[in-house]
Structure 1
């Protein structure tokens, strides 16, 4: 029920991409055929609960440059390691609630 309410609320907001969040905009403009306002809104809702604004900006870049995710994951940079742990949690949660 909670998923339906969140998805419905974001579907209404997604009718205007200017209102969309960072992840949602990246999702909607991606070349992924499965991207739609309800799915992208759900993913944004999960991002809002699990990622900071700066983390969302980094993650949104992965939609245009998927290889960047691999570079961040393999990086020895401590900040990238912290980000990657949060990103994995975000991905698992989005998969569970939005997939």
Structure 2
């Protein structure tokens, strides 16, 4: 019985943990530009976690699918869009610093 408990404990400790990818990481992995580079996409997600709110991450993830959306937001006269764009630029700067090859 002790061996069974020990084996179950070791399995629980060494079993891979399921990691939930964020919106940015998922969009990056699915992007044609990343070629599924999980390490790079994971790094970009870490930068997003440090600089963007969850809602901002979901919005920015859309830029991977439709880059023109980013241009629309950047050119917008809306205060909300301008505030988002400032946060997004901080994210880009962080990602460039953290994830550059």
TM-score (normalizing by structure 1): 0.79
Separation in 2 of the partners of 1:83 and 1:33?
24
State how far apart, in whole Å, the 1-side matches of 2:28 and 2:69 are.
16
What CA RMSD, in Å, does the superposition of the two structures yield over aligned residues? 1.8
Runs ≥4 residues deviating over 4 A: none
Q: How many residues are treated as equivalent by the alignment?
A: 85
CA distance in 2: counterparts of 1:49 and 1:64, whole angstroms: 22
Return 33-42 or 88-97, whichever deviates more.
33-42
Is residue 34–residue 41 contact of structure 2 (8 Å, CA) maintained in 1?
no
Separation (CA, whole Å) in 1 of partners of 2:34 and 2:66: 16
Unaligned runs of 5+ in 2: 1-15
Which structure has the greater CA radius of gyration?
2
Matching of residue 25 in structure 1 with residue 26 in structure 2: yes
Instruction: Report the more deviating stretch, 32-41 or 66-75.
Output: 32-41
